[in-house]
Structure formats: C-alpha cells, structure tokens
Structure 1
Amino acid sequence: MNKKHNHIRNHITKYFVLISLFFVFGCSNTKYLPEGDLLYTGGSVKVKDSIMKKKDRKALQTELEGLLRPKPNKTFLGLRPKLWFYNIAGEPKKQKGFRYWLRTKVGEEPVLFSKVDLDYNASVLRNFTENRGYFKTRVSADSTVNNKRVTAEYTVVPKKQYIIKSVTFPDDSLKMSKIIARSSRRSLLKVGKPYDLDAIKAERERIDARLKEKGYYYFSPDYLLAKVDSSKGDHEVKIRLVIKDETPAKALRAYTINNIFVYPNYSLANDSMVYRKKNITQYKDFTIIDTAETFKPRVYDRTIYFKKGDLYNRTDHNLTLNRFVNLGTFSFVKNEFKPSDSIDNALDSYYYLTLLPKKFIRVEVLGKTNSASYTGTELNLNWNNRNFLRGAELFTASIFGGADFQLGGVNKGKNIYKLGGEVSLTWPRFITPFNIEGNSEYVPRTKATIRYEYQKRTQLYALNSFNTSFGYLWKENIRKEHQLNVIDVTYVSPNHVTAEYLEDIQQDPALGKVIEKQLIFGPTYNYTYTNTMQKRRKNTIYFNGELDLAGNITGLVTGADYPDKVKTIFDVPFSQYVKIRTDFRHYLKLGKESELASRLIVGAGFAYGNSNTMPASKQFVVGGTNSIRAFRARTLGPGSYVIPETTTNINYTPDQSADLKLEFNTEYRAKLFSIVRGAVFLDAGNIWLLHADPNKPGAEISKDFMKEIAVGAGAGLRFDLSFLILRTDLAIPLRNPALPDGQRWVIDDINFGSSSWRKDNLILNIAIGYPF
C-alpha cells in the first residue's frame, strides 16, 4: 500500500515541478530578447470626449484598438506559452526535425517594440476617426516600460461629430443622372445622420448596382465623386454626388445584348476557339459552337436569361451564371461581354463551359453502431450519368447492401440484413402540362425514382419493400427549399415469417403490425428554411416541415370506412391518414469556437377512413444516436407503456412506435483542441398513441402526458476529420416514464461504481455527424 502511495506522490511531484517550470520559464521570456530591445505586450486606446455617450465611446475605443499593429504575442492565463516554446527550442540547425517543428509550428517569435511605429498607428487612428465625422481629431501616443516589457498607450481627442445637412445627386442632362435621381429615396446617405466615409463608399456601390440594372455595363463606382462641404453650418456637411469629368464615354452609355455565343466543350488547356463552320448551330438567339452536340439546344434557352435585344442588367447576368453552375454538369463557367462589331451600344455575350465527366461511379462504405448494441456495415455502389438524355438530366443507378449484428444483449442472433437497388432520373426543369420555369438562380428539378429493398431479420421475418415516386424540387433562394411528390407509392409485403415470430404475436399483438401488407400512396410535401450558412450571425435557425397525405382522395371517392367498408387495391387495404412533422433548430453562437444548439420536434399522425391505425413504417419512434441518447434505439415509450411480464420469453426487444411525438434536445458544443470538440447535452421527449390500445396500457396520449416525458443527459466527443465528423456520446437516463408515477426521476440511483448499473444505464452512441 505504501509503494502505491509513494508512486502516486512521485507522479504528483513531477507534475507540480513541470507546472512550476512552465510558469517560471513562461515569465522569463524576456531574457531571450535581442540586446537593447523590448517585448511589446500590446496597445490600448483611450477616447477623451465629454459629449459622446459612454456606450459609444467604449465601442469606438474597441474599434480603434483593433486597428493597432503589430498584434502582441498570444497569451494564456497571463502567460505567453507559444513564445516560451519558441525560445526553448532555440535556433534549429536544419529546417526539419523536432526542434524546427517546435519553434516554427508550436512556437511564436517575439513581437519586439522595435517593430512598433507609434506615429503610424496614431495616423491610422486619426484617419479612421475623421472618416467617422470627427474632423480635426488629435491623437497622441506614449509607451510604458516595465521589466523589459513595453505597452503603447494612445489618446484620441475627437471634436464634435459632423452631421449630414443635405445630399444632392447629379443634375446634368445625362440619362443616367435621371436614373440616379429616381433612386435617391433608397440612398444610404440620410440627412441628420453622422458623416461616414464608409457610407459614402457604400452609396457609390449602390448607385453602380442600380445603373448595372439599366444597361450601364462599363460604369464603375470610381466614376462617382462625393464633394463634401463643411465650411458652412455648425458641424454639418453638405454632400454632393457628381459624375467625374474624366469618365470614359462608353461608361455613360446603356448597352443592349446582340449576339450570344455558347461554347459547351470549352477547355482550359486549349482556348484558341478555332472552330469550323460545320460545328456551329444556330438556335433562336444563340450561336452554339459544339463539335459533339453535347446538349439539346433548349438547355441553353432555359438557362440563359438574356435574349437578343434585351437591355443588359446584372440580375440576368448573375442569374444565368448561377443556373449554369446549378445544372451540375459543368466544372467551370466563364462569361465575357465584348462590344458588338455590327451594332452600336450593343454587347456580344460569350459563355465558356467546361464539362464535368459525364459518367462516374461513387462507392460508399459505412461502418456503424447504435445504442441497441448493433454493429454493422453498409455498402452503396452508385453509377451516375450527368447528361443522360442530352438535356443535363442526372440518371443514377444504385445497389446497396448491409448487415447489422448484435454480438451480445437480448437481440443476440437476431441479425438484420438488407439488399436492394434504386434507379432515379432527375430533369433540370419542371415537367408539367403547364409552362412553369421560374426565375430563381437555382434550377428547378423533376425527379422520378423506383426503389426495391429486401430486409431480413434472421429467425423472425423478411420484408419486401417497393417504392416509386414522382415529384418536384425547387429552391426559392439559398434559405428556402421545397419538395413536392405528387406521386409517392409504397408497397410492403412480408415473407419467411417464422413460427417463433407468429408465437410472439400471440403474446404481443402489436408485433403483427410489422408484417402486415401495406399499400401507401398519396402526395407528400417538404419545406426547409435555414440561415445557418450565415456564419457571422449570433442566432441562426433551421426549420423543416413535412406533410404526408395518404389515400385521401381514393378513400373519399370509394367511401372507405373502417371496419365496415374497408376498400382494397389488388386485395391489399390501402392506408388512409394525415401525418405532419416539424423540426425546429436554433443555434446560439457563444464564442468563436462554441455554441448552444437546440432542437424541438413535434409530430402527429391521424389514421381515418380506410385505416384505424397508422402503418408501422410511418409511425414515430424515439431513442437512439440522433434522438434521446440515454435510451436504446426504438425502445422508449409509447407513453408509460411497459412490456408485460407475460412476454418475457420473447428473446428480443420489439420496436416501439406511435402516432404522436414530442422531443427536445439541447447541446453545448465547444472546441477542446486540434480536431477534438466536446459536448454536454440534455435530451427529453416521448411518443404516444392517439387512441387507447388494450394491448398497450398507458401508451395513449392524456392530459398528463408531460408526466411521461423521458429525460437523459450526457457528454461526448466529436472528431472533426474534415471529410467527416466522428461522434461518440455517453448518456445516462435521468427520468424513465416506464417506472410508476412518483418514481420516474432516477437521478438518485446513479452509481458509476456499480457494474450492473453501468450495464443497464450507461449508453454509448457512436455515429457519423452531429445529431442535429
């Protein structure tokens, strides 16, 4: 025992010595400085102004301090560890090896005071302040030395800020001046607002963008001059925008579109553009130069928004380029406008398009595990053709297979195998009886899919699943996306049902739903909104809503009514229901490398007419790696339902599903080091049946449903490998709705020292990607 204590004490002593050395050497960085030089430890700015509000003064000081150069060495707990590593590494003898790595990759060279130009920084602060309207600002600079360390202090004394008294726009006879004047109500320069040079620059950009919409292709913001008069009034300025006299004549003219040339097989390696006449095809307003006739000409008609004679505008210019990119067939898109040789004030437009490989194969191999103790793998082989019918259609043929094995636990031996295939064809347009094209930069698409999957659960049953769908996908903009399947048909048929499973159904009739024949058809609609791509926003959201209508019109027409008038198609009763699901997520940025992510899922399904229950494949489930992680996948709920003891001889865990779902998750995420990120999380929720089921007491929704909310918590690591994120989550239950009311909080039962408690309650989830 004494040896063990001595061993621990020795380790503690070593760690204490190392930490002490780190602090000692961290404080002795100055001894490595060049003779006569000092270590620069940063600068500060003080704004002296008795009129300015305290909040505005502090904001200005923060902005000004951000302009100071150079930046001092990075600190941690008041120390400079990177500088310390740089110093202890010393000068390496060669550009490789541990010392070179430690000095150049881990370390950071000292920022010396000799590199600090106080006068230059003072002039930068003065210019910035005056550009904000604080004319005649005085800036002084000083420094303070303490033990070979030096700080710089800058004092800024601004005068009263100037306010915009009036704004006038060009009033000459030019046509563009009238266009500018008509847009003056959208001006960024507002009377009564502070003078700001950045606002003047932004106003010039705004005017240029407006003129670009009116044909002025060669105009530039630099051709606008802002004359500022501060000679009259009390700290007021008059701003007059004029067109410079030296503006070239071509910038003062509006241009139309003349010839439009398209090069679909443009090569970056050979851009000589020498083509014989037989390679040229004329289609409407387009001249297509293509030896291989790669695309049907109507592809360009749908993609290029300019037509001959149109007035040039930047919107159609950018719209055309974005649509070419979004076709998904080109690796490079280039556009040029040149003055026409045949018509005055006209432009010839050239589109140079470099093709992606037409055919390609993608192989995906996936290893996975879930909280139900299944471990498995999946293989997907996809063959793709990006221009299947010469109309930029994407054809995909896939075959897939996988297996999930449970090496231990109650499901041992009940392995799951699946095998299937899918073919899909996507057209880059709407295929409808009506002419609907839209004017979004994102190409609308029509997609048809046929899929078959065979799933085998050994010792129990097998399922054949067929699905076909036809629908539309379109994006309004980068934030809003829609998917409407006008036809979505699913047929599920069981086979190889074992005697063991049939016996289990006698004990638990709910198991019979899994192997029922199912015929589901009807439209589905999906809407997504997100602004999470805006990285600078502190708050971002994601919303996804789904609507699934099955058999509604057919049920209405046939008068279907369960159980008296159940209607069938090919001897299979069709499903009739309405299902709605919403998924709302909020992301709160707490720092540069940390955020709080939250999610709320609400779902409801209502079977009626030809059905008394929702199909098992369309019901909601809860628990698992992307849900409530403290409970094994598909084992939680419904409600407070507990599998009765009479079914304990069923040697596997049946999946639990229901008509209603409520789930909430929140997770704090932060970068720990390098590629490793950490998270702590809290999950809550459950599922319920809409109507009481005598075989599942406690499963139906009631006014006390909040008492049946399951709660779990945990922590995890995420490894950001750039091409994927590997996630590990360890969770424990805090509240179990399967326990009697009043005993559902199980926090007091937590006992990490007990192996039996860990076996039943400590759930490890391994997955790819974030849970939400």
Structure 2
Amino acid sequence: MSKRHSNMKARYNPYFILLSLFFIFGCSNTKYLPEGDLLYTGASVTVEDSIIKKKERKALEKELEGLLRPLPTKQILGLRPKLWIYNLAGEPKKEKGFRHWLRTKVGEEPVLFSKVDLDYNASILRNFTENRGYFKTRVSADSTAKNKRVTAEYTVWPKRQYKIKSVKFPEDSTDLGKAIDRTSRRSLLKVGRPYDLDVIKAERERIDARLKEKGFYYFNPDYILAQVDSTKGDYEVNIKLKIKEETPEKATIAYKIDKIVVYPNFILSKDSLKFKQEDVVQYKDFTIIDTADTFKPRVFDRAIYFKKGDFYNRKDHNLTLNRFVNLGTFSFVKNEFRTSDSLKNTLDSYYYLTLLPKKFIRVEVLGKTNSASYTGTEVSVNWNNRNLFRGAELLTVSLFGGADFQLSGQNNGKNIYKLGAETSLTWPRFVSPFNWEGSSEFVPRTRATLRYEYQNRTQLYALNSFKTSFGYLWKENIRKEHQLNVIDVTYVSPNHVTAEYQQDIDEDESLGKVIEKQLIFGPTYSFTYTNTMQKRKKNTFYFNGELDLAGNITGLVSGANAKKGDTIKIFDVPFSQFVKIKADLRHYLKLSKDSELASRIIVGAGFAYGNSTALPTSKQFVVGGTNSIRAFRARTLGPGSYLNTETSNSYLPDQSGDLKLEFNTEYRAKLFSIVRGALFVDAGNIWLLNADPNKPGGEISKDFMNDIAVGAGAGLRFDLSFLVLRTDLAFPLRKPYLPEGERWVVDDINFGSGPWRKENLILNIAIGYPF
C-alpha cells in the first residue's frame, strides 16, 4: 500500500476524526484560561456507608450531586463545543453584532475553578443529609487537577437514618386546636417513615391549607412548631406539633363573611372609589358600586362564590378571582379582606375590577406554506364588543380573505382563493332551560356562530359554504375541557364548475363528491384532557376525543335508505347521515431539562348509513402534510395502496377515506439559544370502508397493516416566544402504493442523487409543533 493511500485512510478513519475533534476542542478550550486558573469540569459525590443499600446509596449520590454549584460547562459526547465557540468568537468590541451574538448566545463562558467553594458545597451536602435524618454526617472535599482541568470529589459518611416513632397533634380544647387535630387523618408524617425536614415543612403547609378552608384567614404555617425529640428510642424521633405561644389572637379565630362590596369601574390611576348614593345597588348579598351602570348585577352573583354568613375559605376565594379573570372583560382584578367594624369575628370582602376596552378591532395577517407546494396568506379583520348586553357577552364580527398559490408542482396554476364573514356571540354562562353554573374556576360559555365562505379553485370549481352552530364550552378544571354543539349545520353548494373538472369527473367519479350539494346537521361533542402544563412531570399526556352525529334522528324517523333509493331531501338537498369518531392520544417523555420524546397515535372512523352511502368529502379523513406524515404531500396519500395514475388531469386531486390510523414519534432537543432540533418517524394511512372500483386497493382488509406508509426526517424549530417557526425535511421509508415486496424503499435512499431528492425529499415549513 502506498504511503499516500495509507494517509488517506487515516484521514477519513472515524476514530482519527474523533481524536482530532478531541484535540481541537480540548486544546483550544484551555489555552484561553486566565493565568494560574483551571477549567472546572464537574464534581462527583461518593456515599460511604455499609448499612445503606446500594440502590439507596446511588439515589442519594445523584440527589447530592444535583446540589453542587457552580455547574460545569455543558458537554456533548465528551466535548465542549459551546465553550470552543465562546473562545473562537473572542472579546467583542461592542455589545451587538454577529461576534457578540456568537459569544453570548451560542457560546458559553468557561467555569473556572477559582469560582468553586469546596467548603461551602461540603456544608450544603452535610445540611441536606442531616435534614433527611442522617444526623451527625461527615463530609470531605478534595480536587484533582490534570492538563489545566480540575474535578471536585466529595465523600459523604452518613450515619444510620432516623425514623419517626410517634406523631402528636395539639391536644388543647380551643377551636384552633380542635381544627388542627381534625386534619391528622391525612397527615404526611407517618410512623415508621424516615425523618425528613422537607416533609415537616410540607405538613405545616398542609395544615395551614386545611385551616384556610375552615375560616382561619389570618393563620399561617409559621404559627406551628414541630418539636423533635431524638433522645428516646433507637435511631428514632418523636414529633410533637403545637401552636406557638406568640401566635396572635386573630390567627386563632375562624372568620365569617359579612359585607361583599364590588367596584366594577376601578381605575388604578384615579380615585375611582368616590361615588354618589344613586350609584349604589344592593343585589342579594352584594353591594355594587357601578358609577357607569356597566353590568347587570347577576354577573357578579355568578362570579362571586361567597355569600353573607359563610365561613371564609380559600377555595371560594380563588374561585371567585379566577371567575372574574375568565370573564374576559377585566384587565385587573384585586381582592381585599378587612375585619368588619359591625360584627365580631367577620370579614368584609372588597373586589376592585378594572375594565378592558369595551370595543376593539384586531387585524390578523398569516403567512403559510404546505407540503403540496402551496404558499399563501390570510387576512382577517375582527371587530369585538366585550359587553354587548351588559352581561359580559362577547360579540365578534370577522371579515376574512386569503389566497394559496402553488409555486411549483403538479397543480399548474390551480390556485385557491377564499373570502368570507363570520359572526359569533358568546355568553359567559349556560343559556339553557336548566339553571346550572358549575363549580369550576372556569366560566362556562354558550356560543352561537354564523359563517359564510366562498372558495374558488381557479380553472376547476367554486364552493359556497354556510355554517351555523349553537353550543356549550366548559372546563371541569385546568385539565379537562368539554365542547358540545347542540346545533351544528353546514350547507355547501357548488358554483362555476368548469368543463375541465367535469371531464375529470367522467374519468374518476369520486371527484364529483367534492362538488356535490351537502346538508349536514346534528350534534357534535369533543372532550380534551391534558396535563402537559405540569412541567416537572416526567410523563405527560394529551387526549382529544371527538364524536360527530349527523342526521341520525331525522334519518331514523323518516326511514331513509339511500342504498334502496329511498333518499330523503330537505330543500331539494339530500341530508347526510353518519357517525364519526376520532381519538388523538399524545405522550411526552421528559428525558432531560432540554430534551423530550413526543409520541402520538390517531384513530378515526366514519360510518355512513340511512340517507347516505358515503361520508361527505369535508368529513372524511386525510393524511400527509406538515402536521401528519411529513414524507408525503398533503392529501395525496392513500386510501390503502391506491395511487392515482390514470386520470389525465393536471393537478393532484385530494385523497380521503373513512378510516384513519396514524403514528408519530419525535425526539426534540434544544441545540442553542432559540434553536431546537428534532428527529422524527411518521407512519399511517387512510382506508375506505367499501370497495371503490375507481380506487383499487383503497378498501380496508385484514391485511391493512401492509398498507402503512412510513417516513422519517429531521427538522429545526425556532422558538421566538410568541410563535414557533418549524422546518422539517422528510423522506419516505415505505411506500404503500408500490407492489408487494417492494414497498420498503430504505435501500433506495441516495441523498447524493438529484432525481432521488426531487422525487422523495419533502420540505415542510409551518408554525407551531406538529403535535
């Protein structure tokens, strides 16, 4: 072998490259250090104890390591590229520009050993272990330096952990003492459990929270003393809870509510508490001082949970504040409780409410693109009235328009234009014969909408769409939300169908369903559950279930049977009769502070019967595109193994089905600053319930898993705080429309081939995460 060839092999050997990276990043990271200082690279904690089990010892070591400060410079595969970028950028001459951005936003400054206080960290470890019941713990600290780098090593010698032998609650006969004693059933302090100072603190907070529900407004956790005796027993402690002697008298009293006063026109910058006698309205238990006669009194009756004579409790306190905020008419809500001058052991409650502007106009401009190569924009102008009938109702009148243009691809100028208007009225209550307001902090709402939209797909057809709905929205709590539309009516009528599209219908009858007149009416319901707002949880979930019932009662009463030719029409239009369900389940696995694994499964099914032989096109399922299987263009995949290759049209017709199954998994990690990266795999397809001769292979069968499409890719997300801009580059791994045995196309992947890239690489640009 020639010397040159040998050098070439070494140059492209992965181990050689990795070694070179270590050398480049390593040497350059230490040569910029201040004279006499060292680069701090991290610390370790070793727990030395023969009594503690190995598993518990390792868990304790992990907890202790998390307390050490400062944190070392972040590593990626043993390298510190952010520190290398910091050094590469150098000292910027001014506090702006590319060099400043590169050094401060992308790079990361070195953590110097001179900033590490070994003794302080040792004391933190000692205090932590003793607070966990390992009394008289010993801790030593040392360091090891090599090649201008230094690590810290801490060794902890804990004694045997103390356990709780007994717990006693206050035994005095006062109202406060009895109230505390009644909370003992749910105490966090359990006999036999390890002593833990944090648990004692949490127990005091728990007792205080319970007392706040019983009227003890002025009580706080500091008035509870936990006396710990470790002298009696074998590594055991006796805990006695008592009320401190210096506790003020008012903290020992359970208060009731007396006066409730509301100021709905409170202005921070002015003295808005001045009023005339005619401005005072007495309504039930409330005194309303509304100088501008802004609201009907019943608005406050629905929002305020306190009634005169009720014991104060924190739950009703918070519910009331949240209800005022959720009304959507106030920019500022303040509550104040004062000891009543008229009655002993009572509180007067005052609410100061600052109004948002009653009327306002909002203009929204949206730019968008999708995987079918359409680029477009939408503009909407919304006029709002926040208090239309003096009951905090919201009236919204919207005018909107938009256009989608295909810059490249198969649709050859078949651009889409739309124009429309929508009016909605929302009441902050249930408008129904039943008087139910619920007990949630979220205000239940009733919403009525009326919408018209004109959509023109140039050179093909235009559609007029009318929609009206009336329904309810309510939340049980922050995690559970319901939406029920009692009335949901949609009417679609075609307009200006071109000869070209009519010719395409002659070749593919399914295209005719797009321009059929449609009348859809019936109730719809959706339920959403999510706990993704709980950032500390390792596993979080999101679920949305939808149920759509169209024309069911009407179809049953009329005896409609489209299969036998007994089709019932309303205003000369056959109404749709079907049942459609859809479930969307997402799981988020937190891997670290800056990374997670997100997964989703979607299952949907629609069944037409009675007056219909197929689902309306607008109600069918589709796959592909920016928020679905990203390796395939929007609405072009499926159904089943079908591929549209026979029609002579110059555009891509939408493909839809009665059944849908989709899986997505995405690894997300922060790269630097506002930039996040993702690796993803998508899979799924749609199917027809019944065979269609114009779409061979489109129907569902027992071998439906053979029709699954699979794609993969990578993307970047730019988190701009007010929105997330997403770019995804995807390519197919499995094409269900290819012959059996040839559907996996992993072996065909060739990023260096221009024709392969043109056919297979799909760029998706969108706003927000895909799920």
* Shorter-chain TM-score above 0.5: yes
Q: Name the SS of the counterpart of 1:420 in structure 2.
A: strand
Match of 1:194 in 2: 194
Report the CA distance between 1:110 and its aligned residue: 5.3
Contact 1:29 1:84 in 2 (8 A): no
Q: 1:16 to 1:542 in 2, by over 3 A?
A: closer
Q: Name the SS of the counterpart of 1:124 in structure 2.
A: helix
Q: 1:437 to 1:716 in 2, by over 3 A?
A: same
Matched ranges for 1:512-661 at <5 A? 512-562=512-562, 563-643=564-644, 645=646, 647=647, 649-661=648-660
Contact 1:73 1:111 in 2 (8 A): no
Report the Cα distance in structure 1 between the residues aligned to 2:188 and 2:408, rounded to whole angstroms. 68
Q: 1:259 to 1:595 in 2, by over 3 A?
A: same
Report the CA distance between 1:748 and its aligned residue: 3.1
Q: 1:149 to 1:405 in 2, by over 3 A?
A: closer
Report the Cα distance in structure 1 between the residues aligned to 2:629 and 2:212, rounded to whole angstroms. 53
Report the Cα distance in structure 2 between the residues aligned to 1:729 and 1:335, rounded to whole angstroms. 48
Deviation per residue, 1:140-199 (Å, 9 max, x gap): 344455566655443322221111111110010111222222221100000000111111
Q: Name the SS of the counterpart of 2:378 in structure 1.
A: strand
Task: Return the letter of the residue paired with 1:608.
Answer: Y
Match of 1:215 in 2: 215
Q: 1:676 to 1:98 in 2, by over 3 A?
A: closer
Report the CA distance between 1:284 and its aligned residue: 1.3
TM-score w.r.t. structure 2 length? 0.93
Q: 1:121 to 1:623 in 2, by over 3 A?
A: closer
Report the CA distance between 1:465 and its aligned residue: 0.5
Indicate whether 1:766 and 2:756 are aligned: no
Indicate whether 1:257 and 2:261 are aligned: no
Q: 1:129 to 1:283 in 2, by over 3 A?
A: same
Report the Cα distance in structure 1 between the residues aligned to 2:278 and 2:242, rounded to whole angstroms. 51
Stretch of structure 1 that moved more, 717-726 or 60-69: 60-69
Report the Cα distance in structure 2 between the residues aligned to 1:633 and 1:98, rounded to whole angstroms. 38
Q: 1:608 to 1:151 in 2, by over 3 A?
A: closer
Report the Cα distance in structure 1 between the residues aligned to 2:770 and 2:91, rounded to whole angstroms. 47
- What stretches of structure 2 of length at least 5 have no aligned partner? 1-7, 13-17
Report the CA distance between 1:589 and its aligned residue: 1.8
Stretch of structure 1 that moved more, 70-79 or 530-539: 70-79
Report the CA distance between 1:642 and its aligned residue: 3.2
Aligned residues: 758
Contact 2:73 2:108 in 1 (8 A): no
Q: 1:69 to 1:749 in 2, by over 3 A?
A: closer
Matched ranges for 1:272-671 at <5 A? 273-562=273-562, 563-643=564-644, 645=646, 647=647, 649-671=648-670
Match of 2:112 in 1: 111
Report the Cα distance in structure 1 between the residues aligned to 2:407 and 2:95, rounded to whole angstroms. 51
Contact 1:85 1:108 in 2 (8 A): no
Report the Cα distance in structure 1 between the residues aligned to 2:741 and 2:94, rounded to whole angstroms. 71
Report the Cα distance in structure 2 between the residues aligned to 1:264 and 1:86, rounded to whole angstroms. 54
Q: Name the SS of the counterpart of 2:623 in structure 1.
A: coil
Match of 1:700 in 2: 699
Match of 1:729 in 2: 728
Contact 1:163 1:235 in 2 (8 A): yes
Report the Cα distance in structure 1 between the residues aligned to 2:84 and 2:206, rounded to whole angstroms. 50
Indicate whether 1:24 and 2:27 are aligned: yes
Report the CA distance between 1:371 and its aligned residue: 1.8
Deviation per residue, 1:605-641 (Å, 9 max, x gap): 1111111111111111111221112222111111122
Report the Cα distance in structure 2 between the residues aligned to 1:186 and 1:544, rounded to whole angstroms. 34
Report the Cα distance in structure 1 between the residues aligned to 2:104 and 2:728, rounded to whole angstroms. 35
Match of 2:716 in 1: 717
Report the CA distance between 1:344 and its aligned residue: 0.4
Q: 1:613 to 1:48 in 2, by over 3 A?
A: same
Q: 1:370 to 1:225 in 2, by over 3 A?
A: same
Deviation per residue, 1:206-260 (Å, 9 max, x gap): 1111111100000111111111111111111111111111111101100000011
Q: 1:54 to 1:661 in 2, by over 3 A?
A: same
Contact 2:25 2:80 in 1 (8 A): no
Q: Name the SS of the counterpart of 1:349 in structure 2.
A: strand
Report the CA distance between 1:126 and its aligned residue: 2.2
Report the Cα distance in structure 2 between the residues aligned to 1:197 and 1:509, rounded to whole angstroms. 74
Report the Cα distance in structure 2 between the residues aligned to 1:203 and 1:24, rounded to whole angstroms. 53
Matched ranges for 1:49-60 at <5 A? 49-60=49-60
Contact 2:39 2:110 in 1 (8 A): no
Report the CA distance between 1:277 and its aligned residue: 2.5
Contact 2:265 2:272 in 1 (8 A): no
Contact 1:33 1:39 in 2 (8 A): no
Deviation per residue, 1:689-748 (Å, 9 max, x gap): 111223322221111211111222222222222222222222222222222223322333
Match of 2:4 in 1: none
Report the Cα distance in structure 2 between the residues aligned to 1:351 and 1:691, rounded to whole angstroms. 62
Contact 1:451 1:468 in 2 (8 A): yes
Root mean square deviation of aligned Cα: 2.8
Contact 1:593 1:671 in 2 (8 A): yes
Match of 2:131 in 1: 131
Report the CA distance between 1:83 and its aligned residue: 6.7
- What stretches of structure 1 of length at least 5 have no aligned partner? 1-7
Report the Cα distance in structure 2 between the residues aligned to 1:98 and 1:701, rounded to whole angstroms. 56
Task: Return the letter of the residue paired with 2:200.
Answer: I
Q: Name the SS of the counterpart of 2:195 in structure 1.
A: coil
